[in-house]
Amino acid sequence: MERYGLLSRSGYWYFRIRVPVGLQRLLKCREIKRSLGKCDLNLAEPAAKLARLKLKEIFTQIQEGVMDHKAALLIINEEVGTLSRIIQYKRNAQAKAERLQALANVLTRLKNEANEELSDKDELALIKLFNKKVNEHRNSLDLLTRAILDTPSCDHAEEETKDTEDPDFLMDFFRRSSRKQENTEKLSKQLEPSSPPVASSIPPLAELTEHFCREKTNDNSWAHNTATSGKAHLQLLVEYAQLCSVPLEKMDRAFILQLRDNVLKKLPRKRNTDPAFRSKTLSELLKMNHNSPLSDKSINEYLLTFGSFFEWCRENHYMNADNPAKRLQIQIKRKNNESRDRYSHVELIKIVDELANLPHATPKQQQRNLQLRWIVLIAMYQGMRQNEICQLFVDDVATINGIPCFCVNDSHWSKSLKNQQSFRQVPIHPELLKAGFLEYVCKLREHPVLTQLERNARNQQLDNSEQVRLLFPCMNYSPQHHYTRNLTNFYNQFNRKQITTDTKKTFHSFRHNVITQLAHEDVQRVHIAHLVGHETADTTTRVYTKVDIEKLLTVITKVNYGFDLLEKLHLSPVKDDVLKEQIAHLPVKE
């Protein structure tokens, strides 16, 4: 059964909403679907309405650049599934208040009837008559009292509604109800919806943050990098809370604003890795003068981690107050295309010249330089992402319909791709073939190089028959950086010292160069998207259009920077018959 974005499966209700087309690539999905738990339709519908409003607000914040899409996913996973429980709690609190009011009304009516029947206002006689009337209505009072005690999520119900058979309770109620002021205070207290129960013994903040991080890691809500940054973010929260002597229950919006404006905006980048900062305490860091403050984007990531933690504390009854970190992100007005810039024609020529003259003192260093050169040239002519290139296996260079191609995939556990559109097969640029790229590939096929993963398996004496034949064996794997760390260390230094000091120009700029070149050649968007692994916005194009490899070859050939690559690299072009022989040695894929 499906109704109003709700889907029912075996008594469980699920909420789903379509992700806006422009955000589907970022969020890696076309729709968001979350469980609302086992509940009835009357509870699921308002939860779905609340979820829809919440998600539309998140979508708007992502589109405006206010919220990072990774942080948005954390909030979506944290909040949507709890909405039905929140609404259930509110309904239970309302039901309890109504039943308390009904009980108070009945007892008040019985007291008034006793007052009217007795002309003598002797208190003891009034109490006896009151008790008699209570006994006459015993069944209805018992049912009402039991209904209050059975109301879920109201742990204080027993304190508010004691057994009406207790004469002391009836006498106490009668005496207090005879005094108007005390009676009013009692009813107002009864009618006040109770708060969620708070844990009687709240663990220290450091222990709570550790528990939160462990839970996020164990249920795979956080990837490796997200877990590392999340722990660092919460460690700062613990430090600042200890510095200000503020416990969890005292943390409010003003405290988090103070943390944002007086700490995060003054905190240096790379606090935990830079030797100048990592041994300093928080108070010492805040007194230092430095020129590397956190970016607005990084500050927002801190705030979103805090918000996720506070929501978890609320769900587990460690705090009652509203989320103090909610909606405190800094607005970022910079456009997406302003974060990176493409290389100029002069800078591209300089990059090739410098690659051709990389210094090497040993054969091992020479082999490493050769691998780094090919990685940069592939990025320059193919527009592939950094990790997509570094994690290529030798068998990922294959022929499709006789055309040599790169097969971008995650066929091994150590590989990772950004999104579904990253899975693709793209022809190798003819300039790379002429420069002898297939000669390099064939040598690796004939003389495999032992990779870091294989060396580790041997050192640990693991029975691992799986071969890891990397196309660029100098790229070592790590869970945090995947295969890119060695390239990042090399290229950051190479780029800043030899090419440009413009921080907007990085390895990712090569993708901008390729896409811009193809756009200037009036290449269709669907072809550009397939070459670089982007999603097309048009559903018809995305679902039904299949691009021939031959067409993609003609498209990739249009990437031309206006200089002779072979001349710059001091190479002679590979002869056609030699190239055909090299292609024949490649594996064939469909």
Choose among 473, 476, 480, 510: nearest CA to 495. 510
**How buried is residue 5: exposed, middle or buried, by Cβ count under 10 Å (0-12/13-18/19+)?**
middle
Q: Which residues contact 154 (CB under 8 A, 6 or more apart)?
A: 92, 93, 96, 148, 194
User: Rounded mean pLDDT of 510-533?
Assistant: 90
Query: Which percentage of the chain shows pLDDT scores above 70?
Result: 73
Stretch among 136-145, 212-221, 305-314, 413-422 having the lowest mean pLDDT: 136-145
Which of 50-64, 206-220, 493-507, 522-536 is most confident?
Answer: 493-507
**In which band, very low, low, confident or very high, does the pLDDT at 160 lie, cut at 50, 70 and 90?**
very low
Choose among 485, 377, 351: nearest CA to 433. 377
pLDDT at 81: 54
For residue 162, is pLDDT > 50? no
DSSP of 262-273, one letter per residue?
A: IIITTPBTTTTT
pLDDT at 66: 73
0.75 cut: is pTM over it?
no
User: Rounded mean pLDDT of 50-71?
Assistant: 77
pLDDT at 469: 85
Task: Report which of residues 79 and 190 the model is more confident about.
Answer: 79
Q: At what angle do helices 41-63 and 69-79 cross, to 10 degrees?
A: 170
Q: What is the mean pLDDT of the chain?
A: 79
For residue 344, is pLDDT > 90? yes
* CB-based contact 451:469 (threshold 8 Å): yes
For residue 188, is pLDDT > 60? no
Query: Which percentage of the chain shows pLDDT scores above 90?
Result: 32
**In which band, very low, low, confident or very high, does the pLDDT at 10 lie, cut at 50, 70 and 90?**
low
User: Rounded mean pLDDT of 556-569?
Assistant: 92
For residue 465, is pLDDT > 50? no
**In which band, very low, low, confident or very high, does the pLDDT at 557 lie, cut at 50, 70 and 90?**
very high
Q: Which two tokens stand for residue 499?
A: 């090419």
DSSP of 210-243, one letter per residue?
A: HHHHHHHHHTT-S-HHHHHHHHHHHHHHHHHHHH
For residue 159, is pLDDT > 80? no
For residue 523, is pLDDT > 80? yes
**In which band, very low, low, confident or very high, does the pLDDT at 120 lie, cut at 50, 70 and 90?**
low
* CB-based contact 38:26 (threshold 8 Å): no
**In which band, very low, low, confident or very high, does the pLDDT at 185 lie, cut at 50, 70 and 90?**
very low
Task: Report which of residues 110 and 380 the model is more confident about.
Answer: 380
Residues 539 and 260: their CA atoms lie apart, in Å, by 41
User: Rounded mean pLDDT of 297-321?
Assistant: 90
Q: What is the pLDDT of residues 240-280, one digit of tens each?
A: 999 889 999 889 989 999 999 989 998 888 888 888 888 88
User: Rounded mean pLDDT of 485-511?
Assistant: 92
Residues 98 and 316: their CA atoms lie apart, in Å, by 26
**In which band, very low, low, confident or very high, does the pLDDT at 509 lie, cut at 50, 70 and 90?**
very high
**In which band, very low, low, confident or very high, does the pLDDT at 28 lie, cut at 50, 70 and 90?**
confident
Strands (E), 306-396: none
Q: Which two tokens stand for residue 110?
A: 């019985």
User: Rounded mean pLDDT of 35-58?
Assistant: 74
Task: Report which of residues 196 and 576 the model is more confident about.
Answer: 576
